[in-house]
Amino acid sequence: EITKEQRALIKAILDAYNRHQIPQDVTKKLLQEQYSAEENFLLLTEVATSQVQVLVEFTKNIPGFLSLDREDQIALLKGSAVEAMFLRSAQVLSEKKPSGYTEVLEERIRKSGMSEEFMTPMFNFYKSIGELHMTQEEQALLTTITILTPDRPYVKSHEAVERLQETMLDVLRKLCVLQHPQEPQYFARLLGRLTELRTLHHYHVEMLTSWKTNDHKFTPLLCEIWDVQ
């Protein structure tokens, strides 16, 4: 019972999701460079910065996003960047056919000078995403739903964002029923991941502080989007 409009919406979001990816010359470095806590941190910072740029381009292609209040668009991007990056890195780490990035990315995250306490929840999340075997459409829609979360700090037109998010939730719910007929709880499990993302987001604020105290530098874009420095 997916309508024609909803099919068009899925296509638009999936196309945007596939079109906007980190350039090869950036991700390739993860495979080539030395392994040291310093080098790993620098590489992850470079990749995260590139991922934020990709995220901004993807978000601009979410139908309806650009008609939101301009300041709300910024508030949604700032509020969702970390969660969208957890989702993206989770997809890379849980690829069935390891793209070669899977191992190196895990290794570099584990050895980037981040305190141990964040490893467990972070890698539990990665495991729980892997177990879902999400399709491309589900990954793209879940990222979209995360971005369109109305209760981010400083969002003024809460209802406008909520309406957009509900449109996407409705599409995702129908898609889950279609693509996972044997798993009636699948949609609920996906939404459970969004709750886990919020928790990781809270951890991430402390992660940044622990890196900062060890005098780790971020890029201007990351400082801007994460309100650090």
Contact residues toward ligand 59G (CB under 6 A) are 21-22, 27, 30, 41, 44-45, 47-48, 51, 82, 85-86, 88-89, 92, 101, 105, 109, 112, 218, 222
Q: Which two tokens stand for residue 189?
A: 């499990």
Q: How far is the CB of 19 from ligand 59G (least distance, A)?
A: 12
Return d(Cα 167, Cα 204) in angstroms, integer.
Answer: 29
Return d(Cα 115, Cα 188) in angstroms, integer.
Answer: 31
Residue placing its CB nearer to ligand 59G in the complex, 41 or 186: 41
Q: How far is the CB of 102 from ligand 59G (least distance, A)?
A: 9
Return d(Cα 124, Cα 192) in angstroms, integer.
Answer: 13
Residue placing its CB nearer to ligand 59G in the complex, 82 or 148: 82
Residue with tokens 């890379």, as numbered in its chain: 92
Q: Which two tokens stand for residue 150?
A: 């109305």
Q: How far is the CB of 217 from ligand 59G (least distance, A)?
A: 10
Q: How far is the CB of 12 from ligand 59G (least distance, A)?
A: 20
Residue placing its CB nearer to ligand 59G in the complex, 181 or 220: 220
115: amino acid identity, one letter:
S
Residue placing its CB nearer to ligand 59G in the complex, 109 or 155: 109
Please give the sequence-ordered ranges of beta strands (E in DSSP) within the chain, or none if there are none.
Answer: none
Residue placing its CB nearer to ligand 59G in the complex, 16 or 109: 109
Q: How far is the CB of 112 from ligand 59G (least distance, A)?
A: 6
Helix and strand counts by DSSP (H, E) for the chain: 10, 0
Residue closest to 204 by CA, chosen among 98, 140, 121, 110: 121
